[in-house]
């Protein structure tokens, strides 16, 4: 275990020893108030890869030079562009290549998955979610319940922490599944909670859901590219994620979907269908009857979003070169340093705050959520004025995410010095 020190010399030495340090140079670091910022909000919007423009420019050139023939004649033929992403996307989420597809946007994909995996009947109609899930997930599950003629107040079970606590206990999640096993249709959680940064025990939750006779899926918006998951091995039914946070693929960037092979090989499973999901070998025969392509690709609706996917490809290539295992190792150490610095400040300053993200590295990614008990918004505004970009969440939480691809130990030290100056 690293013996941390809250000193500039220690931070610089750690950066000098960092085998991933050069990847920072592959991203545009925002300049705020005339100086390079300390950017700790990759959990909200990742930074722009410097190669992204060239990747998109290639598609502009092929559009310019080939027009519609770019679907087959482009350097990266558009008819099959989504294939170029599947192997790398699968590596990010621990899946087989045929179990993933990049398409659409996050909440649209969540709805498509619930069409297939939330199929309530007279006895099984309940769905378990986090009480503090991201609002879009809450809106999606409520509207799905209403679509089936159900009252969300009766159909949706919300998990909430115990009184005086901030995170969900695994035993409480599992107990809730067990208590509702006779009426449960679906368990759908954010694999990593957006507010607290807590990583749920997805394998145990999946096992419990299946034992109860329910499907299990996860929204990995804050997990993909942040925390190592093994969706295939964990037997998860489905998952969705966005690409614009840790995966650095631009605001509103395209989304990813995982469907376990046992479902992807079942053409009878209910789904909303579109022509891009039809058997790829016969797609342009324009047949009347829908026959899905095997695997997750069978859930596609429309042809690929080439320009957002080109940006995504630029980022996935960086991830492949860096190695996700290497990134995770740095993430644990870098986040640990942030935790150490924040704890040092609570002991040596007048600041009153609490880290509500789990202390166990296995229960968190690189985000730490800090509950500031007084003057939280003032602290946030002060940091922003110092060109330090963190994230404010009502009513009193500041989220900080040191992303291993482009954040330094020196960033953490300078953040700590700024917080210390504010507290004094």
Sign of dihedral through CA atoms 386, 225, 104, 210? Answer: negative
pLDDT digits (tens, 9 = 90+) for 314-354: 999 999 999 999 999 999 999 999 999 999 998 767 778 99
Q: Residue 1 above 70 pLDDT?
A: no
- Whether residues 180 and 40 fall in one domain: no
- Residues 121 and 171 grouped into a single domain: yes
Residue at which a domain ends, from 271, 303, 335: 303
Is residue 206 classed exposed, middle or buried when 0-12, 13-18 and 19+ CB atoms within 10 A define those classes?
buried
Whether 161 and 249 map to the same domain: the answer is yes
DSSP states of 250-275 as a string?
A: -TT--EEEEE-HHHHT-TTS-----G
- Residue 133 reports pLDDT greater than 90: no
User: 217-272 pLDDT, tens per residue?
Assistant: 999 999 999 999 999 999 999 999 999 999 999 999 999 999 999 999 898 899 99
Report yes or no on whether pTM surpasses 0.85.
yes
Question: How confident is the model at residue 245, as a pLDDT?
Answer: 98
**99 inside domain:** yes
- 3-state secondary structure at position 238: strand
pLDDT score for 286 = 84
Pairwise CA distance, residues 144 & 358, whole Å: 32
Alpha-carbon torsion angle 166, 398, 225, 8, nearest 10: -120
Provide the pLDDT for residue 417: 96
Residues 282 and 355 occupy one common structural domain: no
Q: Which of 45, 18, 65 is nearest to 243 (CA)?
A: 45
209 and 126 in one domain?
A: yes
State how many domains the chain has. 2
Residue 88 CA to its chain's centroid (Å): 15
With H, G, I as helix, E, B as strand and everything else as coil, classify residue 58. helix
Q: Is the separation of the CB atoms in 366 and 404 below 8 Å? A: yes
Say how far apart CA 309 and CA 104 lie, in whole Å. Answer: 10
Whether residue 159 is contained in a domain is answered as yes
Q: Are 39 and 87 members of one domain?
A: no
Answer yes or no: is 157 within a domain: yes
For the stretch 174-205, pLDDT in tens is 999 999 999 999 999 999 999 999 999 999 99
- Provide the pairing of β-strand 31-32 with 353-355: unpaired
Cα-based torsion angle of the residue sequence 12, 14, 18, 20 in order, rounded to the nearest 10 degrees: -70
pLDDT tens track for 100-115: 999 999 999 999 999 9
Domain residues for the domain of 349 are 8-49+323-423
* Helix 202-211 / helix 170-179 crossing angle, nearest 10 deg: 10
Domain boundary among 274, 303, 332: 303
* 327 in the same domain as 297: no
pLDDT at 347: 78
**For residue 157, what are the β-bridge partners?**
128
Dihedral sign computed on CA atoms, order 292, 297, 300, 303: negative
Is the pLDDT assigned to residue 159 strictly greater than 90? Answer: yes
CA 401 to CA 406: how far, in whole Å? 11
pLDDT tens digits for range 264-316? 989 889 999 998 999 988 888 888 889 999 999 999 999 999 999 999 999 99
Can you give the pLDDT at residue 149? 97
| Residues β-bridged to residue 219 | 190, 240
Instruction: Measure the CA angle with vertex 257, ends 319 and 141; round to 5°.
Output: 130
Can you give the CATH number for the domain in which 419 is found?
A: 3.90.1150.10
Q: What pLDDT does residue 288 have? A: 87
Residue 141: the pLDDT is 97
Judged by DSSP in three states, 63 sits in: helix
Asked if residue 409 belongs to a domain, the reply is yes
Could you say which of 303, 336, 368 is where a domain stops?
303
CATH number of the domain to which 193 belongs: 3.40.640.10
- Asked if residue 68 is part of any domain, the answer here is no
Using CA atoms, how far residue 41 sits from 46, 72, 98, in Å, is 7, 39, 32
Domain match, 349 and 395 both: yes
Q: Are residues 118 and 239 in the same domain?
A: yes
Q: 222 is written with which tokens?
A: 């804050």
122 and 32 part of one domain: no
- The helix (H) or strand (E) run that includes residue 341 is helix 324-348
Same domain, 327 and 277: no
- The confidence score (pLDDT) of residue 359 equals 97
Peptide bond into 234 cis (omega under 30): no
Residue 67 lies in a domain: no
Any idea which residue has 């609706």 for tokens?
A: 301
User: Domain check: are 296 and 328 in the same one?
Assistant: no
pLDDT in tens, 347-373: 767 778 999 999 999 999 999 999 998
């Amino acid at each position: 275990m690293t013996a941390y020190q809250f000193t500039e010399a220690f931070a610089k030495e750690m950066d000098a020893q960092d085998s991933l340090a050069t990847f920072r140079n592959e991203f545009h670091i925002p300049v705020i108030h005339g100086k390079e910022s300390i950017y700790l909000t990759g959990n909200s919007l990742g930074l722009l890869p410097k190669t992204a423009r060239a990747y998109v420019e290639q598609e502009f050139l092929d559009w310019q030079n080939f027009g519609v023939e770019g679907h087959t004649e482009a350097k990266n033929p558009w008819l099959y562009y989504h294939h170029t992403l599947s192997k790398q996307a699968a590596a990010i989420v621990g899946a087989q290549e045929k179990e993933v597809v990049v398409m659409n946007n996050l909440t649209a994909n969540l709805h498509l998955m619930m069409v297939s995996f939330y199929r309530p009947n007279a006895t099984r109609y309940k769905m378990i979610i986090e009480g503090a899930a991201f609002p879009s997930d809450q809106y999606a599950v409520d509207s799905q319940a209403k679509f089936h003629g159900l009252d969300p107040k009766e159909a949706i079970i919300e998990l909430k922490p115990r009184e005086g606590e901030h995170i969900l206990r695994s035993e409480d999640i599992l107990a809730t599944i067990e208590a509702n096993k006779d009426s449960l249709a679906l368990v759908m959680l954010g694999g990593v909670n957006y507010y607290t940064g807590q990583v749920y025990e997805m394998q145990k939750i999946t096992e419990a859901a299946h034992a109860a006779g329910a499907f299990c899926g996860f929204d990995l918006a804050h997990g993909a590219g942040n925390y190592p998951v093994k969706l295939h091995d964990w037997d998860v039914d489905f998952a969705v994620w966005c690409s614009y946070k840790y995966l650095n693929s631009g605001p509103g960037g395209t989304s990813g979907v995982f469907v376990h092979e046992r479902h992807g090989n079942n053409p009878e499973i209910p789904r909303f269908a579109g022509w891009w999901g039809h058997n790829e070998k016969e797609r342009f025969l324009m047949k009347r009857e829908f026959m899905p392509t095997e695997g997750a690709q069978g859930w596609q609706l429309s042809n690929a979003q080439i320009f957002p996917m080109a940006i995504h490809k630029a980022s996935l290539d960086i991830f492949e070169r860096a190695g996700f295992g290497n990134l995770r190792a740095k993430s644990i150490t870098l986040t640990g340093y942030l935790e150490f610095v924040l704890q040092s400040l609570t002991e040596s300053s007048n600041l009153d705050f609490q880290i509500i993200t789990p202390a166990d590295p296995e229960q968190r990614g690189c985000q730490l959520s800090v509950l500031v008990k007084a003057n939280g918004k003032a602290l946030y505004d002060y940091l922003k004025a110092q060109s330090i970009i963190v994230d404010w969440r009502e009513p009193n939480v500041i989220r900080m995410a040191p992303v291993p691809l482009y954040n330094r130990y020196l960033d953490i030290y300078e953040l700590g010095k700024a917080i210390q100056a504010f507290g004094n």
